[in-house]
Amino acid sequence: MGKNIRVRVNNLVRRCGTANPFQIAQTLRIPVRYAPLPPNIRGFLTKPVRRKIIVLNENLDEREQYIVVAHELGHALMHCGTGYAFHADTANYCRSANEYEANLFALYLLSHSYDIDERLLQAVPRNRELFTYQEAHQLLCRCVEPD
């Protein structure tokens, strides 16, 4: 595949002039909406007509919102081929290639705003089978944990 997600993220941050996921979404004209979703769904990306929309569970705390928006941006920018209509992110175990890429995208993006240890970034398993959604979420939460 040859996607260098880290380079993509760096280019995006330079292009948008910010690493804030909400501001990037705004710059890319991807609206972020809040909805009363079931507790197990943190957010999703949808594309009802032409325009993509990120929908967030309104009960997420601020830190989680950053993580989910960063993750959904990854989907929006990397996984919008034909036939793409709906994507729901649950707290459940998930090991698809797209989830892995979206989590890496979120990690690299958030590393611009939060002081994430380089060793932590290096430690992200290269084998996506070993980097589950739950692990990614735990890692991301740890990364953006205020000291």
* Selected range binding Zn ion among 15-23, 61-69, 95-103, 114-122, rule: CB under 5 A: 95-103
Q: Do residues 52 and 46 lie in contact, with contact meaning Cβ atoms separated by under 8 Å?
A: yes
User: How many angstroms separate the CA atoms of 35 and 132, rounded?
Assistant: 26
106 binds Zn ion (CB under 5 A): no
89 binds Zn ion (CB under 5 A): yes
5 binds Zn ion (CB under 5 A): no
Q: How far is the CB of 102 from Zn ion (least distance, A)?
A: 4
* Interface of this chain with Zn ion, residues 19 to 48, rule: CB under 5 A: none
Identify which of residues 17 and 135 has a Cβ nearer to Zn ion in the complex: 135
Q: Which of 5, 24, 102, 143 binds Zn ion (CB under 5 A)?
A: 102
Q: Do residues 32 and 69 lie in contact, with contact meaning Cβ atoms separated by under 8 Å?
A: yes
Q: Do residues 60 and 72 lie in contact, with contact meaning Cβ atoms separated by under 8 Å?
A: no
SS3 146: coil
